[in-house]
Structure formats: C-alpha cells, structure tokens
Chains A and B, each alone.
Chain A
Amino acid sequence: MVFQSYALYPHMSVFDNMAFGLKLRKTPKEEIKRRVQKAAEILGIEHLLDRKPRQLSGGQRQRVAVGRAIVREPKVFLFDEPLSNLDAKLRVETRANISKLHQQLQTTFIYVTHDQVEAMTMATRIAVINKGILQQIDTPQRLYDYPDNLFVAGFIGSPAMNFFNAKLDKQDGKLYINGGSFSVQIPEDRANVYMPYAGKQIIFGIRPEDIHNPEFAPPGITAQTVNAKVDVTELMGNEIFVYLKTGDHNFVARVDPRSRYHFDDDVQMVFNMANMHIFDTETEKAIR
C-alpha cells in the first residue's frame, strides 16, 4: 500500500523504514538486508539508505514509501493517489518510474487517482468512476476513442470534447447533423447506425484535435466545413487552442501552430467526421 502521504517514521533511517514491516514479521536479518538492497536498487535510492526522511526530497520520500511496499513482495500493489503531494515535474518523473516498476515487478497494480493524465499514461485499463458508479472500464485508447457515454467522453481528453445539441436530418438518403448554424454530413459508412434517429434531437461530439485549419488539415480525413468566428486563441508552442463560436455554440479546436487566427476573424474550420461521436439526449449513452 502506498499512500499520498509517505507515512515514514521520521526518527528511522531509510533502511529502517523499509525494513520495518519485515522486522515485525521476524524476517531473518540477511533476508531483510537482501530485500531492502534489491528494492533500493530498483528505485535508485541505494545511496540514501542511511539518511533520515527529513533529509530527503518529496520524490525521494515517495520512492522510500514505494520501497517499503516492494520489500514485502506483495501479490498486489495498492497506490492511493501517490503523486498528489509532488510538484508537477516530479510527478511526471515518478509517474514514469511507477510504470517502469510495474514492468519490472510484473505484479498486479491497483492505482487510485483523480488525474486523467496519470490514468491515461500508466494504466493497462482504467475504471472511470463518477459518484461511486462505474461509468466505463477499458484500455486508455478505447476510453478515448469509444467513450460509452457523455460523461466519459467529456472527462477523458484535454481540452474536453466539444458537444453540440443538434438534430439529425435525412436528405436524399444521406444523414446530416443540423446544429442550426451549421450542417455536417455523417459519413455514409456510418449512416445506417443513425438512421433510426433521423428527425430526432441528438448530442454531437467532436474532439478539439479532430477540428482542423483547412490549410493544414491532414490528408485523407472525412472533412466537413463549418463556418465560425474566433473568440480566443491560446498559443501552446507546438499547437494552438482556438476558441470559436458558431451560432449559439462555443467550441475549441486544437490546430497547427502555423495557423494565424485573430480575435473576431470569420474562419472556416474542418471537422473530421470519421472521428465524430453521437449521444442519445435522454440516456446520454453513445450511439454506435
């Protein structure tokens, strides 16, 4: 068990903290030494074994806490928000170390967090819980690509998926998402699924990364054009978040950094409809 707070004995050395549980179980001294040394090697803290917790940084303390769990050679590791007390840089570093640890130890890990980046980067599967209820359990990629409901769709991904209240219109055997200020065609290979919803209200979802500047849109996408007005731009260096308005709808696009957008510009954006999502307005479940 590894907690958010390290729960180390302040008066004991790192070695003694790691060995404490084994001593209580009357493990032979040589075995304790072997296990602590091995765990310290895995965690890269061999040189800290004589130090007291107060002489360690936050990241080092957390590694000692993990080491204390490792020496017991548990069948299951339980991590309860272990990175919450670390600063942003250390969190990234420790996150990678925990993933590496999982590969090395080949043991079952259960990890609780409220941070979706931690979940997405480390998990083989993620259980998304809201108000105590399991929303979806799946691999990170499938959660991202195929969210089961509106909640998961909006929760996984940053910036969050854009949602539009819209209506499905059928014209000449084709289906269109009518958002009032825009109309985009549903790809023909997916239209059959949505035919029963023709004429009904739905929620249309599309991720910011599936909205492109037409100038830099990747080739081969199922492009549909939407006219919008630029509200705000946020330059991130490797990308730009563009906040846009179309009719009553606000949405955000994650576009190529070479794009040049300014406040109040009238622009055309390209939606990659191959990656669109449609949700039932009543049940909020994905329709597919």
Chain B
Amino acid sequence: MASVTFDHVYKRFGDVIAVNDLNIEIADKEFLVRLDVERRLPFAVWLVWKTLPKESSKLGIKLSTMSLQKTEILPWSSNLTLSTPI
C-alpha cells in the first residue's frame, strides 16, 4: 500500500511540454486516472515508475522537483516494445 505525491514535477522534450509543474497527491488505495488530452504525452506513469527506486520513502512515494535527462526517458510510441518485460 502506498500514497504517491507529485511535487513540482516537470518534463519537456525540446519544445514539447510533457509535464509542467505537476502537483498531485494520490491517496492509498485510490484509483487515479491521468486523462491526457494529447495522446503523445502519456508517459508520466513511466516517469513515476522510473523514479520509484530512487525516491521511495517508507510507505509513501514522493516525487520531488526533478528534471530527468533525455536519455533516461523512454519516449512513448504507439508501438512501444521493451527488450525486458517489466
């Protein structure tokens, strides 16, 4: 069980703003849907997953202000394939 906090999360790809100062608190057991209007940008979830091991706290998970390097981000595409299943 865990709560998740997005605390001033940003992500940009050049001119494309993927996440712009996102602040959300997700409660334990909550079913939160991130409804992205544009289909090209739904990788906040990936961003969370990528950050969990580094930022996990005892019970909650907190994502603090961060700017990931471009090389760390797996760009979303409609045919996303992974070399290693998660």
Contact = CB atoms under 8 A, between A and B. Distances in A.
Interface of A: 1, 3-5, 7-9, 17, 20-21, 68-69, 75-76, 78-81, 84, 99, 102, 106-114, 116, 118-119, 122-134, 137, 155
5 contacts: A1-B45, A69-B86, A110-B48, A111-B33, A129-B35
Given A5-B79, A76-B61, A81-B42, A124 B35 contact: no
Contact of A132 (B20, B35, B48): B20
B37 A128 contact: yes
Given A17-B85, A112-B42, A125-B30, A3 B36 contact: no
A114 B38 contact: yes
B1 A78 contact: no
A133 B31 CA distance: 20
Nearest to A143: B35
Most buried by A among B11, B37, B48: B37
B82 to A, nearest CB: 5
A211 B44 CA distance: 38
A75 B11 CA distance: 24
B55 interface: no
B65 interface: no
Contacts of A106: 1, 29
Interface in B5-54: 11-12, 17-24, 26-39, 41-46, 48-49, 52
Contacts of A118: 33
Q: Is the interface of A mostly helix, strand, loop or mixed?
A: mixed
Contacts of A1: 45-46, 49, 86
Contacts of A20: 85
By size class, the interface of chain B is 35 or more
A122 B1 CA distance: 19
Contacts of B64: none
Given A108-B3, A134-B23, A127 B35 contact: yes
Given A3-B86, A114-B38, A132-B19, A123 B49 contact: no
B1 A108 contact: yes
Contact of B45 (A110, A116, A128, A131): A110
Contacts of A80: 42-43, 45-46, 76
B71 interface: no
Contacts of A9: 85
A102 B27 CA distance: 14
A129 B34 contact: yes
B81 A108 contact: no
Contacts of A69: 86
Given A3-B80, A133-B20, A111 B31 contact: yes
A68 B11 CA distance: 29
Given A5-B81, A134-B24, A76 B37 contact: no
